[in-house]
Amino acid sequence: MASVVLVTDSTADIPLETRNKLGISMVPLKVNFGDDSYLDSITLQPAQFYEKLIAFDGLATTSQPSPADFYEVYKKLTDEGHVVISIQLSGALSGTYQSATIAKSMLDEGADVTVIDSKSASYGYGHIVVAAAQMAKAGASRDDIVAEVHRLRSELRLYFLVDTLEYLRKGGRIGKASAVLGSLLNIKPILSVDNEGTVYSFDKARGQKRAMARIVEVLKADLKDRPINLTIAVTPGHVSGVSEVVELVKQHLNVQISHETEIGPVIGTHTGPGTIGLFIFPVD
């Protein structure tokens, strides 16, 4: 039986060590500072990126991989006899999923490639890719892995706590007046992703502690005492109090497994430094 391999893109924010260990192929998006373009997490690492972002006066932008970028990876893997499962950033947030789908259509008819819209972002689907790769390494079939990917996608709870409104303003997601007023009042927006993979403002609170308490309140009402897998993703070098956040969640929720990872350059372009992401999966 042909082995199953996982392909994803850089916005899954999966650490290099984990990708190498599980044989996950990653197609990078690009981050652009004016005329300078970088490959997310390849030629620009998270810590370097946030320093550049803070120092840059203009509007940093991002761009998706081309179909040819995915085709090259798919062609190599399928020529080697692998079955490919490719899980991408939400199609509602980027054309990356569309590029992957086009690349699949360019392959020979016998190539076995399944492309899945994660309907999520960052480690919200990075966790799903890792779980799928672990199943593949254990010898699970394509169909079983795809079924588990869809199950995990339906179980995800995802929240982003944004420290500053400036990058949402720059990206056109909120108006200048709202950004100025929000900054003066120390408003912390809480962002989430809906079932279609679209980012929306779930709630807001004055100050990080109140915002975190609100997230925990919502999760407690939703999950009760169900055991959960918790990942907290941060922008490296620009978030303090992470251990306090973990402890707050553990005080009120049944955390069985917890991890910490970094929010990469592409997601960080739109949310800015100081962002905290919480990704929760029930494990029962």
Tens digits of per-residue pLDDT, 115-132? Answer: 999 999 999 999 999 999
Residues 260 and 198 in one domain: yes
Pairing of strands 227-234, 276-282: antiparallel
User: pLDDT tens digits, residue range 197-252?
Assistant: 988 888 888 888 888 899 999 999 999 999 999 999 988 876 666 788 888 999 99
- The pLDDT of residue 173: 45
Stated pTM of the model: 0.92
Tell me, yes or no, whether 53 lies in a domain. no
Please give the tally of structural domains in the chain: 2
- The pLDDT of residue 120: 95
User: What mean pLDDT, rounded, does the chain reach?
Assistant: 89
Is 282's pLDDT higher than 60? Answer: yes
Query: Residue 213: which domain range?
Result: 157-282
Residues 85 and 130 in one domain: yes
Positions of E strands within the chain: 4-9, 25-27, 30-33, 36-39, 61-63, 83-88, 113-117, 157-161, 187-193, 199-206, 227-234, 254-262, 276-282
- The pLDDT of residue 159: 92
Is 186's pLDDT higher than 70? Answer: no
Residues 211 and 164 in one domain: yes
Strand partners, 257: 229
Q: Which of 93, 121, 155 is the last residue of a domain?
A: 155
Range name among 7-11, 62-66, 192-196, 205-209 with the lowest pLDDT average: 205-209
Residues 13 and 150 in one domain: yes
Residues 150 and 9 in one domain: yes
